Structure 1
Amino acid sequence: MLTRAATNAFNKASRPVFRFRGCLHTKTATGIRINPRTSARAASTVTLPPTSNDRDLVAFFDAPSGSSVSSGPSTGIFGHPSLTSPQALESIAEAILQRAQLLTERVLRAPQSRSEMFKVVKNLDRLSDLLCSVADLAEFVRNAHPDPKWVASANNLYESLSEVMNVLNTHVGLYNVLKAIFADPELFNALSKEGQETALVFWRDFEKCAIGLPDAQRNRFVSLSTEILVLGRQFMNDELRVRPPAVIRAEELDGLKDRGMGIRLKNQAFWTRQDLQVYPGSLQAQMIMRSAPNEEPRRKVYMASNSSTQEELYLLGQLLKTRAELARLVGSQSFAHMELIGKMAKSPENVRHFLDALMARNRPNAERALLNLSKRKQEHLHTPSDPTIQPWDRDYYCPPEPPAPAVPLPPLTLGTVFMGLSRLFKHLYGVTLRPANVAPGQVWDPDVRKLEVVDEDNEVLGFIYADLFDRRGKPGGAAHYTVSCSRRVDDDDEPGDYPSAEAWSDPRLAVSRDFGMIHRMRRRGRDGVYQIPVVALLCDFTPRSSTTGPTTLEWFQVLTLAHEMGHAMHSMFGQTEYHSVSGTRCATDFVELPSILMETFLTSSRVLSLFDIDGKLGIGHKSNHDEDPCHYIDTHSQILLAELDQIYHSEAVLSSSFDSTKALAKLFDSRSLIPYVPGTSWQTRFGHLYPYGATYYSYLFDRTIASRAWSKLFAENPLSREAGERFKGEVLRYGGGKDPWLMLSSLLSAPELESGDARVMQEIGNWKLENEGAIPNRY
């Protein structure tokens, strides 16, 4: 889910593979435009007497004195005692890397001792956790911290960690020790199912990194990986993506539907006696696309918005070809084939089965919607026959409406929304959100709030840091960051990492041990003691002010927050023994299921009634708007984007004649309902090509699965504790520690899904989507 959040999302693709790839589970999101589809049984509202915690949550986010900073002793960011300055990042990194070296040596010595061999997977996971604890922190700081010195220090740390990870990615010694585990039935069978899945995760990551190749080719792998990192960052550089303006004459805006801005634009042209310069992406450009009856200014804005420089086209071409070369180096047919190893789809062929089925299902509705647009254009232009709808016609003849709730709602403040979500979680999972104080220095901005996730026994399950307000220099969009995973810690055997008493007493290593005790809180799990998960949520909402009062959210912002909280609850409940498969550290094409499902809950009037603190807001039951058939056109466009992503990551890019613009034109000429416009090359604006290379289909895929889960479990009773516990127990608690096809088949009581083969992928493409015409506003 990108566009505004592009700079956040590129994190996932910039990580090296050795579970550093799994570290940065930064989930970007924006709102989904949703239309109501709730059953009669779900139509009744729920009036709950407000609890003290309900009122505390509202005040925590809405009241002027909602600050949560205590008067206790100061600390560092996230409660790390030593993390009080940018320089501390470097000191902590040095200590962590020294600890990592000890753990690496311990794994390499494991074949000398049978008992140590039984600990190899655990120790590899601990090594991953150790490095990710710093990598995730650096990734968060460089995106969220307002101080440029902190950002610069975090960037440097990230770069140095990337180099270390590239060394571990291709470490033959570590690979051979892991290989011995798979070759010894006693050792492998001694692992739990989750442990076996974790071992497979490490195995796949090693295999992706040319581990079985000669030294020269492994070195080439590292070189190509670094090159991809550099190219990807350049591709995501917002400054590179600035487009020249469209030049529009004032008379071309005659009849503009938006009279206010239209008059201002025309007056600007009159007084300056110059043509208007309208920049792509600006409010003026959006207004022209939606309101200008004259086709020419819309065409000009579209052409300006979808042009590319030769530098941009070359950069994209190099990124795609370098990825393809990397895949060939490790023996894969294409980057898509390599990237889909370990994903639910398994192969590009299976992705195609899913997309083809989804296209066939959606296309008739999209064609009918397009015909309606053509008739509107005919009436507008008084043409004798139905004219062709061009790309610049879509928003004019079917203006995108802002997302709206399923039923009429009063304005919702930020605190009210958190209260409603907390009530929903209590119904579904038996947990609530509780305001928590922070020590001085624990947060990076005064407006950051800390929440505790508390169960019915008043036990803290995890912490959520909510950095929700826009500020200068903060990236736009929304994201979920994992700061610390839930993992089992009582069997770490940490003393075994140290070869001598002198090493244990080394003050630098003591720093690393302190860093690992982020909140010094543990909880008893189903079979041991587990680390408390810590996550951070970033949004860009308007801050509270003395003149306007509490922050009031637009509906798309409510959906955004619900989406991110879906990721957060996945992290809270993902109580796994291993860090590498905890919470959102699961397959890319499965990870959006909880967050998309969370948005779907907001289509229910019964759920929405939870946002009424005392039952006096008058939340109604009548639908707020009818389904917009034009959304079928947009769903069709999303399918085409997923197909383009597959083409761009196929073996075709290695051909000397490959041209990304020609490939785009060919796809749209054969599959699109709206024609490709010669001279445009909007693929350089398709930011997801970097962070979601070969996996852009995941959003549509998880939307489809979430729809089925909703209809099977929650549609009749969206506040069912039984259904909530089922979803928590079958999906959320496993994270990536269980095959997602097994999770899905168990959740839906559909054993025929277990194989996850081409037939199943096609079947899922045929599933009915809840709010079938609705698509995300911005992916």
Structure 2
Amino acid sequence: MMKAVTRTRQWQRWVCSSCLSQRAVPALQRRRFSNSPKSAAVEIEPIIPASHAPPLYRDEDNTLRSVFDYPRFWREFSSHPGGVSVGLFRNAYLKEPRGFLTFARVSLRKARAVVSKVLAASSVQEYRAIVRDLDRLSDILCRVLDMADFVRVTHPDRNMQRMASMAWDMVYQYMNELNTMTGLHDQLAAAMANPDVTAVWSEEEKTVAEVLKLDFTKSAVNLPKKYRDRFVELSSEISAVGSAFVQEMAPDQDLIVLPSSDLRGMDPLQARELTRGGKVHLPTMSGQAALALRTVHDADARKLIYYASRTASRRSVELLEHLMRLRAELATLSGFESYGHLALRDRMMARSPEAVDKFLRALAENNRPKAMQEMAELLAEKRKAYPAVKRLDPWDKDYYSDLIRRPLRLTGRQGDLLSPYFSLGVVMQGLSRLFTDLYGIRLVPKQPVVGETWHPDVRRLDVMSDTEGHVAVLYCDLFYRPDKSPNPAHFTVRCSREISEAEMAEVWQQSKQDPDVPPFASPEYAANDGMTFSRQPNKTIKQLPTIALVCDFPHPSGHGEQQPALLSFFQVETLFHEMGHAIHSVLARTSFQTVSGTRCATDLAELPSTLMEYFAADASVLGQFARHYESNDPLPYRMVAQKVRQARRFEASDTENQIILAMLDQALHSPRAAQPDFDSTEIFHGLQRTYGSAPPDPPGTRWQGFFGHLSGYGSTYYSYLFDRVLAQRVWEVVFKSGDRGAALRRENGERLKESLLKWGGSRDPWKCLAEVLGDERLAEGGEEAMALVGSWGSTRQN
């Protein structure tokens, strides 16, 4: 029933030198903005720069750049005279590591009180409050789980990580008990069946009720006890086998040993590092092996590398197939035809494997001619060296793709051409300007107080609305640290939710009686654990979305304080993508946390983030901010266009591979997994032969044993492709429309926000899409709507 959703598996305007605030930039740093001769390194037409930031927010705009680009400015801005810690994220329990356990214990006492209230409900008035009570119960638990999940993977203090893990375990164990508590399910069902109760519920309350009901159903709460016990056993075993599959994943052959002469074409420095006694010892699952497949001239050497890198160990495949069989049993126990039917029933737009199949087949049909054309181009490239050849071999694809891409690459040192135009501060400045243009919200640096952040590098930004004031808190942990995960991620540490007067009074009273509860200044702060909240015009109190973005960008101090962190274009896309998740959490400030922000249909969650990647490559958007960090020259846009063309050169072939993987995910979670002759290798190779235009994997290979996403996605891997198609469609219909500057127009941003983003999971996503795209064919969803989306395709024009 209760879910902790923390991350979801996945760009702005320049400021001319005369407008820089003398207060915002210290003199030593300010010198870098003086006008200098234009660089003549690349003579390409520049983008036309936009006017500088609105005068009302100019100081904020300049400060935003400075806190990310200039370490000295940041130290001065973030310095404070000291004082008592306010707790991590201003959570008053988290002033020291053991506070996590106190936070968990107090939260569990609150949760049990809510459960008792729900179980005791008997009057119409009490039943009317059940959805709000259950949402509050979920929020109480998720406040601990989401916070602990973030801390245990990001916080640099090992003791803090350990206490967060202990708190997480305490609360998660209780949550599992709730998921099989028949009394809560029965009370919710009784409330939903009573017209006198549902008549006063808002549409959002009705949606939350349906979500909670489905969560209970998926937990087998309606089954007899012995089946519920088996459900728990299976769930535990699935978790263990899934973890083993991912952690023990290995190739059948760990090392490939070849004569050094066979690796001609590979970077000689890398080859030399791997050479011992005239032999190259190439780790099978390594970046060097992937590089060899792209660059080694000898086809026989590539063949050996290909076989090794596409053949998982038998142990890996056995674990994978065992995991699929366990999931099939769980689905049967729960009354579903397959695990795919079970997984797609809850919070998915597709709703069934049959609808996913319609989408993938339509997408494959749209994509196939382009993929075949790309294969023909690769064969033509191969025939330049071997005129008599009739076909491509599987180990040819990467090699000849790389040969064709090479002329598209920018000349000179790759890292020096685009990154000087993308200092981190400038990109953050640009993001704020884009959000101001589209949604009337901006990012404002806020001085952190003692104990609020987990590392001195973390910047706090307040998200401010022109009309609603303070709407969210965003913590940016964007610089590399050796003890931090390198994977970019968006965490919703706390969701939006409306807090009633009765709840505040109850928590305020508890704070005076419970010795574990820290002292709070007011009922509002007590109800928010000390964290930031907002008061609406109607006096309603809302807990503010609290978001953390984590990346691993180069630290400016690594280059001396004269140079800010400079991002590659790929890193700019990454930051835009993660900020797309954040803006979804910011704009979808619903009254119920169960449906707030990214807690929407799982196969819709990547749409806002994928859409942001289109903004990152748009000329008018880049014209808002992209400037050389030293000369202040505008970015020559053709450099970006060339970079994008290179990345998309074989996009149809890449899409075809993703389609086959999504089909594999569906097939392995279908009723076939319960059959005695279930063979994942034959299923994978069969899909390649049926739907691939590229040469299929040869017999003897077992690549599916490396497909770790099968553990985490479990029948929902198609979501990546689905949201790519939707993002492209939204971009073309709402923002691009052949009109330069459409990506910056407020009416277009408002259309997206009002039709889709602001709803989170509180409205039927198909109706949201139908409205934003102006296409009523989508409004009811179903198999035909999925097929329609697939027919649009996802391969963009170069």
Q: What TM-score comes out, normalization by structure 1 length?
A: 0.89
1:477 is aligned to: 487
1:423 is aligned to: 433
Alpha-carbon separation, structure 1, partners of 2:507 and 2:558 = 55
Per-residue deviation, 1:744: 0.9
Q: Which amino acid aligns with 1:539?
A: C
**Contact 1:61–1:415 (CA under 8 A) maintained in structure 2:** yes
Secondary structure at the counterpart of residue 333 of structure 1: coil
- What pairs with 1:55-134 in structure 2 (closer than 5 Å)? 55-65=62-72, 66-67=74-75, 68-73=78-83, 74-111=85-122, 113-134=123-144
Per-residue deviation, 1:304: 2.8
Aligned CA RMSD, in angstroms, stands at 2.7
User: In the alignment, is residue 744 of structure 1 matched against residue 756 of structure 2?
Assistant: no
**Contact 2:49–2:634 (CA under 8 A) maintained in structure 1:** no
Alpha-carbon separation, structure 2, partners of 1:389 and 1:366 = 16
1:33 is aligned to: none
CA, structure 1 residues 551+25, in 2 after alignment: closer, same or farther (shift >3 Å)? same
Cα deviation 1:419-459 (Å, max 9, x = unaligned): 11111011001111111111222211221111111122582
User: In the alignment, is residue 650 of structure 1 matched against residue 664 of structure 2?
Assistant: no
Of the three residues 241, 247, 255, the one matched with 1:231 is 241
2:35 is aligned to: none
Alpha-carbon separation, structure 2, partners of 1:96 and 1:680 = 51
**Contact 1:280–1:304 (CA under 8 A) maintained in structure 2:** yes
Of the three residues 55, 61, 71, the one matched with 1:54 is 61
**Contact 1:408–1:621 (CA under 8 A) maintained in structure 2:** no
User: In the alignment, is residue 755 of structure 1 matched against residue 780 of structure 2?
Assistant: yes
2:190 is aligned to: 180
- What pairs with 1:426-575 in structure 2 (closer than 5 Å)? 426-456=436-466, 459-491=469-501, 493-495=503-505, 505-508=513-516, 514=526, 516-524=528-536, 528-547=540-559, 549-575=563-589
Secondary structure at the counterpart of residue 472 of structure 2: strand
CA, structure 1 residues 281+539, in 2 after alignment: closer, same or farther (shift >3 Å)? farther
CA, structure 1 residues 69+736, in 2 after alignment: closer, same or farther (shift >3 Å)? farther
Per-residue deviation, 1:490: 3.1
Of the three residues 229, 245, 267, the one matched with 1:258 is 267
For structure 2, the 5+ residue unaligned runs are 11-45
Q: Which amino acid aligns with 2:760?
A: G
1:767 is aligned to: 792
CA, structure 1 residues 502+206, in 2 after alignment: closer, same or farther (shift >3 Å)? closer
**Contact 1:487–1:576 (CA under 8 A) maintained in structure 2:** yes
**Contact 2:47–2:623 (CA under 8 A) maintained in structure 1:** no
Alpha-carbon separation, structure 1, partners of 2:277 and 2:794 = 52
Alpha-carbon separation, structure 2, partners of 1:502 and 1:388 = 72
1:36 is aligned to: none
1:5 is aligned to: none
**Contact 1:541–1:553 (CA under 8 A) maintained in structure 2:** yes
- What pairs with 1:79-478 in structure 2 (closer than 5 Å)? 79-111=90-122, 113-237=123-247, 244-254=254-264, 256=265, 258-262=267-271, 264-265=272-273, 269=275, 272-341=276-345, 342-380=347-385, 382-391=386-395, 393-398=397-402, 410-456=420-466, 459-478=469-488
Per-residue deviation, 1:537: 0.9
Alpha-carbon separation, structure 1, partners of 2:289 and 2:62 = 43
Alpha-carbon separation, structure 2, partners of 1:459 and 1:675 = 56
Q: Which amino acid aligns with 1:104?
A: V
CA, structure 1 residues 140+350, in 2 after alignment: closer, same or farther (shift >3 Å)? same
CA, structure 1 residues 145+671, in 2 after alignment: closer, same or farther (shift >3 Å)? same
2:34 is aligned to: none
Q: Which amino acid aligns with 2:191?
A: I
2:710 is aligned to: 689
Q: Which amino acid aligns with 1:600?
A: Y
CA, structure 1 residues 552+497, in 2 after alignment: closer, same or farther (shift >3 Å)? closer
**Contact 1:57–1:434 (CA under 8 A) maintained in structure 2:** yes
**Contact 1:125–1:579 (CA under 8 A) maintained in structure 2:** yes
**Contact 2:311–2:701 (CA under 8 A) maintained in structure 1:** yes
Per-residue deviation, 1:494: 4.8
Secondary structure at the counterpart of residue 246 of structure 1: strand
- What pairs with 1:539-618 in structure 2 (closer than 5 Å)? 539-547=551-559, 549-612=563-626, 616-618=632-634
Per-residue deviation, 1:85: 2.8
Cα deviation 1:505-536 (Å, max 9, x = unaligned): 12236689848334242231678332111011
Cα deviation 1:285-309 (Å, max 9, x = unaligned): 2331221111233233333323322
Alpha-carbon separation, structure 1, partners of 2:451 and 2:64 = 22
**Contact 2:419–2:568 (CA under 8 A) maintained in structure 1:** no
Q: Which amino acid aligns with 2:121?
A: A
Q: Which amino acid aligns with 1:55?
A: N
Cα deviation 1:657-697 (Å, max 9, x = unaligned): 21222221222122222212222222222221122111111
Alpha-carbon separation, structure 1, partners of 2:512 and 2:242 = 41
Q: Which amino acid aligns with 1:19?
A: M
Alpha-carbon separation, structure 2, partners of 1:414 and 1:329 = 51
**Contact 1:419–1:611 (CA under 8 A) maintained in structure 2:** yes
**Contact 1:409–1:620 (CA under 8 A) maintained in structure 2:** no
Secondary structure at the counterpart of residue 690 of structure 1: helix
User: In the alignment, is residue 19 of structure 1 matched against residue 2 of structure 2?
Assistant: yes
CA, structure 1 residues 27+93, in 2 after alignment: closer, same or farther (shift >3 Å)? same
Per-residue deviation, 1:607: 0.5
Secondary structure at the counterpart of residue 718 of structure 1: helix
Per-residue deviation, 1:116: 1.3
Per-residue deviation, 1:387: 2.5
Deviates more, 1:475-484 or 1:611-620: 611-620
Alpha-carbon separation, structure 1, partners of 2:331 and 2:125 = 37
**Contact 2:69–2:556 (CA under 8 A) maintained in structure 1:** yes
**Contact 2:115–2:137 (CA under 8 A) maintained in structure 1:** yes
Per-residue deviation, 1:592: 0.8
Secondary structure at the counterpart of residue 121 of structure 2: helix
Secondary structure at the counterpart of residue 715 of structure 2: coil
CA, structure 1 residues 237+491, in 2 after alignment: closer, same or farther (shift >3 Å)? farther
Secondary structure at the counterpart of residue 115 of structure 1: helix
State the percentage of identical aligned residues.
35
Secondary structure at the counterpart of residue 281 of structure 2: strand
Q: Which amino acid aligns with 2:634?
A: G
CA, structure 1 residues 455+241, in 2 after alignment: closer, same or farther (shift >3 Å)? farther
2:642 is aligned to: 624
Q: Which amino acid aligns with 2:529?
A: M
Per-residue deviation, 1:81: 2.4
Alpha-carbon separation, structure 2, partners of 1:71 and 1:286 = 52
Per-residue deviation, 1:137: 0.9
CA, structure 1 residues 207+378, in 2 after alignment: closer, same or farther (shift >3 Å)? same
Of the three residues 721, 731, 744, the one matched with 1:710 is 731
CA, structure 1 residues 556+525, in 2 after alignment: closer, same or farther (shift >3 Å)? farther
Per-residue deviation, 1:186: 1.9
**Contact 1:583–1:735 (CA under 8 A) maintained in structure 2:** yes
CA, structure 1 residues 515+115, in 2 after alignment: closer, same or farther (shift >3 Å)? closer
Q: Which amino acid aligns with 1:374?
A: L
Q: What TM-score comes out, normalization by structure 2 length?
A: 0.87
**Contact 2:238–2:323 (CA under 8 A) maintained in structure 1:** yes
**Contact 1:461–1:523 (CA under 8 A) maintained in structure 2:** no
Q: Which amino acid aligns with 2:324?
A: L
